[in-house]
Structure 1
Amino acid sequence: MRFQHSAPVRSAHPTLVAAALTADGLTPHVDVREPVAHLLATARDRLAGGPEGGLPEIRAWRRAFAATGLAPTRYRCAAESLLRRLRRDGDLPRLHPLVDLCNALSAAYAIPVAALDLDRVAGDLVVRPATGDEEYVTFTGDVERPEPGEVVFADTAGRAHSRRWTHRQSGWSAVRDSTSRVLVVAEALHPRADTDVPALHDALTGTLAEVWQVDARGAVLTADAPVFTVSG
């Protein structure tokens, strides 16, 4: 399968830099407390300088959401939501070791990070405007239809794995204890995205190797190299 952003999405957001990474052989029986604590300490240090809405990474996503007609303080990118929760509660909930790690990376870098169960994705996965026919499953099992033109992660079967781009993931492909193969995607739009996204990618790859002892394979995607091919 292939992961990529559609031409309309890249045209509308020319500063977009993304990283896509796959790993196989994951289990929930690992300890990520140390790397998560380190990353959340970094996020708290950044929040000490002011609220998350002032971070350049978050401002860039707010502008992108506003450009698509979304109210940016009603629909927030996932990284902003995590940072708001961290500022309010002082911590993030623990769900699954990989999800916890990705959430901590997202908070530390202020970059949305999506982790999907690859075995729950049918065919290619494209970030594109919805047609209105896609099916999105919430975490409670409800079924929604994204609005036509809304940016979603859509697979070949017409299932939407996100709503409003980086606002909310789908419960259908959420990482769970039975998950073994994953696709992780990080996306950024701010001026330092070409530096920060590769750094996040390297940090995730290193932790997967150290904690899970698996070799991840990934790539940084740009307008010049927009497609990541998943083998296997």
Structure 2
Amino acid sequence: MSTFRHSDALWADFPQLVPGVLHVERPDARRDLTEYLETAERRLDGTTETQLPEIQAWRRAYTQLGLKPTQYRCASEALLRRFRKDHVLPRIHPVIDLCNAVSMAYAIPVAVLDLARITGDLEVRYATGDEEYQTFGGALEHPQPGEVIFADEAGRAHARRWTNRQSGLSAVSEATETVLIVAEALHESAAEDVKSLVSTLQTELGQPRAAILDRASPEFTI
């Protein structure tokens, strides 16, 4: 048994954070994603992703962390930016495709992790700089001290710059049997929107166990 949580220091610096978490066994999601893509299209009609309140909140957070929002974008902003230009969702894996489509519809970043590649507890926290991050190309990097990462007990970083980029080490593949899905938001209506997003994913994925975390109850048991 292991846990997922955000560190006390992160809650102190970002008290407006609303995380939603799902634990999915034998993930399968082979449904039509048109509804979510059409929602994303409507939200982008006559505007850009940078004007959406969900994205603006993450841009403010990145500025607070000392990162340039135009250089490092949260995952949902990067997805919407590409979608606005190409009007296509790249297909990777059924569960990833679903989560990417839902992420764009809500403009909220959603991480999808293969639990078999995570050692022990997983905590979103500030990096010490000693942790190891594996890129999708297989290269190894060390996060900058103070950078927000998803860190396991083996000192591996499964995401860098918070919601900017996941690790290739815990990327979901056809062999994946158990998935941890994490959605995080910081905007004014985050509590309502994350609850709706998690409910949407539960419906699509066969009602897996899920929770909305907060500062008083920050831990999800896997």
Short-chain TM bin: over 0.9
Following superposition of structure 1 onto structure 2, how do residues 195-210 of structure 1 map, counting pairs within 5 Å?
195-209=192-206
Equivalent residue, structure 2, for 1:9: 10
Q: Give 1:196 shift.
A: 0.2
How far, CA to CA, are the matches of 1:70 and 1:190 in structure 2? 18
TM superposition score normalised by structure 1: 0.94
Q: Which residue in 2 is equivalent to 1:126?
A: 123
2:220 equivalent to 1:228: yes
Figure out how many residues of one structure are paired with residues of the other and give that number.
Answer: 221
1:148 aligns with 2:145: yes
Q: Distance in 2 between matches of 1:220 and 1:17?
A: 7
In structure 1, the residue matched to 2:174 is 177
SS at match of 1:114: strand
Match of 2:209 in 1: 217
2:62 to 57, 62, 65: 65
1:31 counterpart = 2:30: yes
State the match for 2:164 in structure 1: 167
* Pair 1:217–1:52, CA change in 2 (3 A): same
TM-superposed CA distance for 1:223, in Å, is 1.2
Residues 1:92 and 2:84 are matched in the alignment? no
Letter of the 2:154 partner, please give it.
A
Aligned mates of 2:131, 2:14 — CA distance in 1: 23
Alignment of 1:43 onto 2:44: no
- Matched with 1:212 is none
Structure 2 CA distance, aligned partners of 1:203 and 1:91? 21
Percent identical among aligned pairs is 55
Q: What is the root-mean-square deviation in Å for CA atoms of aligned residues?
A: 0.8
Structure 2: gaps spanning 5 or more residues:
none
Unaligned runs of 5+ in 1: 210-214
Deviation of 1:73 (Å): 0.7
Q: What code does the residue aligned with 1:48 have?
A: D
Instruction: Give 1:26 deviation, angstroms.
Output: 2.2
Letter in 2 for 1:229: T
Separation in structure 1 between the aligned mates of residue 73 and residue 9 of structure 2, nearest angstrom: 21
How far 1:206 moved relative to its partner?
Answer: 0.3
Q: Give the 3-state SS of the residue equivalent to 1:191 in structure 2.
A: coil
The TM-score with structure 2 as length reference comes to 0.98
Q: Which letter maps to 2:35?
A: H
Aligned counterpart, 2:189? 192
Runs (4+) of structure 1 exceeding 6 A deviation are none
CA distance in 1, matches of 2:41, 2:212: 27
Q: Which amino acid aligns with 2:144?
A: E
Cα distance, 1:187 vs structure 2: 0.1
2:23 maps to 22
